[in-house]
Amino acid sequence: MTTKKLVLVSGANGHLGNNLVRLLIKKGFVVRASVRNMKNKAYFKDLNCEVVQADITDKESFKSALQGVETFYAVGAAFKLWAKDPQKEIYDVNMLGTRQTIEAAAEAGVKKIVYVSSIAALDYSHLPTKESNGYNPDRRDTYYNSKNDGEKLAFQLAKELGIELVSVMPGAMIGSEAIQPLNVSYRILRLILNKQIPVDTRIALNWVDVKDVAEGCYLAAEKGRSGERYILANERCMSITDTTKLAQKLYPELKLHIPASVPKFVLYSIAGLMQFSAKLKGEAPIITTKDIAMFSGLQQDFDISKARNELGFYPKSSEQAVKEALAYLMEHQDLL
């Protein structure tokens, strides 16, 4: 009789983390789920897993959480594109979290780490983008910088400490069990359904079902080569406007309007006004001038042959992922 392997998922009360916990339980693993705040246990009430407190910036808490663990799924991170102090709240948290958790894993005797990076850590200058393109040279966004620098640090530490580490790079995750507050990607679908995107920003996203990403994480642990990175996304991206057209077709009763096309200087003006208004209210703006500068017109199409061939990663299409995610939001009106 084989002993069931113990695995740890950090950030387990987040969108990917929680769906990954559910998948690993179904696969027969003994799952330990770490959360920063033990008050956030509502999403585990029906799950057969151990929930422990651990903060990615607190090495000792992770040394304790990782005792006896064979595979560590490093999901926990600050996943937000806006903060009052982005350097402190996003970059520093993600960099320190990477160092502390990997050092803790090595000291606890963990055999393998699946490090959740992001497609933000890719160079988009040649399409379709592939892992071998290298890192994103655009340094204008703090979150993107934290994912680029965090992944480099993860590989460096793993090599120094002699621990196996595989990086996975998800696209814009939507679908399945949604965790409050909604993640960045899901919130864009909510904006569409609530008619809060009046103009065509020419921004595209690579939608991917979170269950497919969870499966990709598991496959990376089972088949991924140490020191390698794998894109967990779809081959083609979808513009927000095309996503709105799909929602309009599926839900004609909502009377959604297709965002109007306007010159780029108008986009900058609208984004600037939104930024100013949000600053006065002390909240995150719907869009910023930096978003227009970085993402308007940027195509996020990927060559996923490496993940397909080496891991067996076959995600459902972006369109299907969007259909299912929209249906989930429509069924759960409290999320809108």
Q: What digits encode the pLDDT tens for the residues 229-239?
A: 999 999 999 99
pLDDT of residue 294: 95
Please give the mean pLDDT across all residues of the chain. 95
Helix (H, G, I), strand (E, B) or coil at 254: helix
pLDDT of residue 3: 61
Are 239 and 172 spatial neighbours (Cβ–Cβ below 8 Å)?
no
What confidence tier does 41 reach under pLDDT thresholds 50, 70, 90?
confident
Tell whether the model's pLDDT for residue 223 goes beyond 60. yes
Instruction: Return the sign of the alpha-carbon dihedral for residues 317, 178, 48, 168.
Output: positive
Read off the pLDDT of residues 162-202 as tens digits, 9 standing for 90 and up: 999 999 999 999 998 788 888 989 999 999 999 999 899 99
CATH T-level assignment (fold) for domain 6-177+209-235+302-316: Rossmann fold (3.40.50)
Q: What percent of the chain has pLDDT over 90?
A: 88
Read off the pLDDT of residues 95-134 as tens digits, 9 standing for 90 and up: 999 999 999 999 999 999 999 999 999 999 999 999 999 9
pLDDT of residue 40: 77
Ramachandran quadrant class, 83 (left: phi over 0; alpha: psi -120 to 50; beta: rest): beta
CA distance 241 to 197: 9
Read off the pLDDT of residues 166-176 as tens digits, 9 standing for 90 and up: 999 999 999 98
Q: Are strands 50-53 and 30-35 parallel, antiparallel or unpaired?
A: parallel
pLDDT of residue 283: 87
CA distance 261 to 257: 12
Omega of the bond leading into 128 within 30 degrees of 0 (cis): yes
CA distance 14 to 35: 9
Read off the pLDDT of residues 276-331 as tens digits, 9 standing for 90 and up: 998 888 888 989 999 999 999 999 999 999 999 999 999 999 999 999 999 999 99
pLDDT of residue 54: 97
The answer to pTM > 0.85 is yes
